[in-house]
Structure formats: C-alpha cells, structure tokens
Amino acid sequence: MEFLNAFLIGGATCLVFQAIMMVTKLEPPKLLIFGLGLGGLLSALGIMGSLLSFNTAGMLIMAVGAGDAVFGATTLALMGDWSMVALVLGIFAALILLGVAAGWVYCKKNKV
C-alpha cells in the first residue's frame, strides 16, 4: 500500500507541476524555485507534515520536499543549531559544482 500511496501522491504532484508549466510557460528552473517556495510555505502552514505522515516517499523526492528540508534547516538555525544549514548549503554547493563541471565538459565536447 505504501508504494501505491507514493505513486499516487508523487504522480499527482508531478501532474500539477506539469500543468502549471504548460499553462504558464514557466521554464523548469523557475518551476523548481516555485516548488521550493511551495514546500516551505506548506511546511510553515503545517500542511506538509500531514502530507508526509500520509505518504513520505511520494513527497520527499520532489522539489516540494526540498523546500520542506530548507524550511526545517532554517527553523533549526533560528533556534541556534546551524548544522543542518551547513548540510543544505554543502549539498547546494556540490550540485552547483556538478552543474559547472557538466557545462564545462559539454562545451569541450561540442567545441562551443
């Protein structure tokens, strides 16, 4: 049943984001930022906790789940524990470095 819930909630979330992208013509990076913000907002309102208690796997792999993680890290930082902020920033830095490396390899391969 857990896999079915993950499929249904994750699929419904993807469907909503795809519809938003098609209707508003948002580029994927802007849509990801929207998802991060939405995850933070849903966490602040307590809605994300309810969604996660019903279905953890279907929500945490989305940009909305990343927004929840950033919200949690920020909440801990405001309470004085900066370890999660360092972890989140480290992950973002690693992803940025991977993106730069991939762009460099692409440019070298295609002689751009």
Minimal CA–CA distance to 65: which of 75, 77, 79, 55? 55
Using one digit for the tens of pLDDT, what is the confidence trace for 67-99?
888 888 888 889 988 888 888 889 889 999 999
Using the structure block, give the residue that is written with the tokens 């991939």.
102
pTM of the model: 0.67
Contact partners, residue 20, CB within 8 Å, separation at least 6: 26, 31, 34
Using one digit for the tens of pLDDT, what is the confidence trace for 16-33?
888 999 999 888 888 888
Contact partners, residue 5, CB within 8 Å, separation at least 6: 54, 55, 57, 58
